Amino acid sequence: MPCCRASASAVCLLLLTALLILALPTAAQVLAPASSSPTTDSLLLLSFRARRVGVSTYAQQTDLRGRTLLSPRQSVQYRLLSDWIYDDRGQPPFVREDYAAYLLHTLALTRRWQVGQLAHYEQSRANDTRTGAWLARLGYQHRLRPATALDTLSVARYVLFGGVAYDSRNARRDAGPSYGLEVTTLIYPGQQARQPVALRLFGTRSQLGPRVWQRTLAEGYYERSFDEFSSGTLRLGYRSNRAEDYVPGNVQRIQSDTIATQLSWVYQLSDKASFRSDNSLALPRRAFAYRQLGAEADTVQNLGYHQQELDTRQEVRVNSKKLQFMLLFNYRERNRNYSLENNRGLSPTRLTTAIEREQIKDISEKTTLWQSELTWLPRPRHSLSLLGSAQLLRVDTPSDDNDQDRDEAQHSLRLVWVGRWAGAFRTSLAAGAELRQFVFIRASQSAENYTDRLLHWEPSFTWAPGKFSLKSTYHLWVSYQVRDRLSEQLKNRASRVLEQQQHLSYQFTPRLLTSIDYIRRENRIGLLNWPQFKESPLDTTITHDLSAAVRHSWGKLRGQNSIRLGYRFLEQRTHGRAALLDAAGGSGSTLIFLRSLTRQQGPELAYERRTRAGFSLEASLWLQQLRTFYRYTPGQGAYAGTGYTSEDLARETRNLYPYFEVAVNWRIRSLRRV
């Protein structure tokens, strides 16, 4: 069923594309006779992707967009979008289907006046919502300084639109008028100014029965070069969004307002040193208000919060032939305070209690970050880099009833050496260390305090002398997480992860390539005795991923083609302790060392085609055979953990799952005289 749905979608979309390709030129010729000599063009973009995500999950995405000039003054822009996720588990199976369609038609009456229409439709099956609108548009543009012959770029554009909007959700269907205005300007402050001041105002409102949707946007941007060494940018913005929806017995209004500003400055200290400063401030507010649909409905409490967000970033860079240095300082602060409105007519005592209960969520977060990087080039083919960072996060809650006050500190140091040798041989070696501390301020949460120490070791090399290529990377990182309180030492954990990746390829001919890829990941988790520095294994997971393939390519003028044949083997082993239960009495837990194995293997087939005309096709198929089973070794003594019977451990599953993926990207551009 899922394959059929995806295939049907692909076939229908390809047929639609073909019809559009055939129909659009015809429509253009009918609407614009051959006497109009200017050349017009059309552009059509198609993006399609269908794949199997999991054992029972499938996904499909389709995006079709285009532009057509019906005449020198008339154009149509359109877009069709669909996004599916299908899961055949459950009754009924879960399906997420989202659709969207947009159409914009414009007609230039004169050099200044323009008319058009916009239609859009969106549907979500998971939320059972449908929204759409049809809007007529009237546009006008003019020069801001017509008397100045030197300033021909300062311009203002106005767009007025209005029509009908439709919304269906929560078993309700609403429709009503929708209208708005958009103003865009580019202003050059002086005759010598290279960068303009850009301003934009946008507002729209839709009256859908008892609900109102409203959006307002105002923003400005200015960039200026003070001299050949320094420049700055300023951005100001205001956003307001009002969305209303139905809740039981009420209409819920979510009002969001944000004032934001950003100031950046770049200064060239010398030919080798530069300084950059980025600073931003945002003041978002959000309010939740309710109004009754009927006199008998209960009133919901109105509430909201206001927030302050500050972000400043200062960076210094120094570059020379032998030495490169970077120092960065970043400070972020976020403060949120909650409040409520007495729309329910509470008594002073109950109102105070409700406000205090809401203010428990008040929070303040402050983050300080220092980063530095030093790179030394002793020789042209060798480099040595030292990277360091220190970060501190402080979370403060003013309420005594909120025990989430904490500090999080992180320090890291990393040393990287990269060497390039003769014979296309390259090596690299990286070593690093991290220290993380997590500390709750309140005594009630102090049991969660811990210190995490991490070590990293990353060697790698690449050898590519000619037709042969070998790339090998390793990464070993060790983590020791130690609780601060003595009573929590049984929660101490040691984790060791070893990951290696090997890539081997050989180019037999310019068109024939063979490759082998192998990835191994081992994750060991154990109980850590930190004072004695001893570890008791708890769980081990080992993953092997091996794939081998032969790729053949052909084609030259019309396009490039390639086909890939291979085989992939994936195995995951989980080692741990369990109990073997007595099947007769359901008791008698004997210790066993259990291994859970999952194997996925099968042949792979992939095809790829790319043309100079803008068409690409990628298709792959993996006939995966999935097998799960258990193996165990008897131990000594009893075990009180998870238990299995002999029948459970003898159970084995085998299934065949064809994993597929198809991706199509098609860019169609045609030039013709109308």
418-435 residue pLDDT tens:
999 987 899 999 999 999
What does the DSSP 8-state code read for residue 19?
A: H
pLDDT value for 146: 75
CA distance 132 to 45: 23
Q: Are 107 and 114 in contact (CB under 8 A)?
A: yes
pLDDT at 564 over 70: yes
pLDDT in tens, 373-391: 999 999 888 999 999 999 9
pLDDT at 671 over 60: no
pLDDT at 297 over 50: yes
Q: For every residue of 182-248, which 3-state class applies, written as one string?
A: EEEEEECCCCCCCCCEEEEEEEEEEEECCEEEEEEEEEEEEEEECCCCEEEEEEEEEEEEEEEEEEC
pLDDT in tens, 107-126: 999 999 999 999 999 999 88
Q: How far is CA 490 from CA 447, 481, 603, in A?
A: 12, 11, 46
Q: Are 278 and 306 in contact (CB under 8 A)?
A: no
CA distance 377 to 572: 43
Residue 275 amino acid letter: F
Banded model confidence at residue 147, pLDDT cuts 50, 70, 90: low
Q: Are 116 and 106 in contact (CB under 8 A)?
A: yes
Counting every residue, how long is the chain?
674
Q: Are 666 and 614 in contact (CB under 8 A)?
A: yes
pTM for this prediction: 0.83
* Tokens at 445, concatenated: 């949460």
Q: 61-65, 149-153, 472-476: which range is least confident on average? A: 149-153
Count of C-beta atoms within a 10 Å radius of residue 17: 18
pLDDT at 455 over 60: yes
The arithmetic mean of pLDDT across residues 220-232, rounded, is 89
Banded model confidence at residue 6, pLDDT cuts 50, 70, 90: very low
pLDDT value for 51: 95
pLDDT at 14 over 60: no
CA distance 122 to 81: 9
CA distance 436 to 541: 25
pLDDT value for 477: 96
Residue 2 has phi, psi (to 5 degrees) of -60, -40
Name the strand (E) or helix (H) holding 661. strand 653-673
End-to-end CA distance of the chain: 46
Banded model confidence at residue 316, pLDDT cuts 50, 70, 90: very high
3-state helix, strand, coil in the chain (%, to 5): 10, 70, 20
Q: Are 221 and 234 in contact (CB under 8 A)?
A: yes
pLDDT value for 2: 42
CA distance 295 to 290: 13
Banded model confidence at residue 583, pLDDT cuts 50, 70, 90: low
Distance of CA 222 to the CA centre of its chain: 29
pLDDT in tens, 73-102: 999 999 999 999 988 887 777 788 999 999
The arithmetic mean of pLDDT across residues 31-39, rounded, is 33
Task: From 599, 601, 607, 597, select the one nearest 622 (Cα to Cα).
Answer: 601
The arithmetic mean of pLDDT across residues 151-176, rounded, is 90
SS3 9: helix
pLDDT at 190 over 90: no
Banded model confidence at residue 41, pLDDT cuts 50, 70, 90: low
* Tokens at 83, concatenated: 């996004």
Q: Are 224 and 231 in contact (CB under 8 A)?
A: yes
The arithmetic mean of pLDDT across residues 40-47, rounded, is 78
Q: Are 114 and 140 in contact (CB under 8 A)?
A: yes
pLDDT, mean over the chain: 88
Task: From 404, 406, 535, select the one nearest 481 (Cα to Cα).
Answer: 535
CA distance 2 to 60: 10
pLDDT value for 206: 96
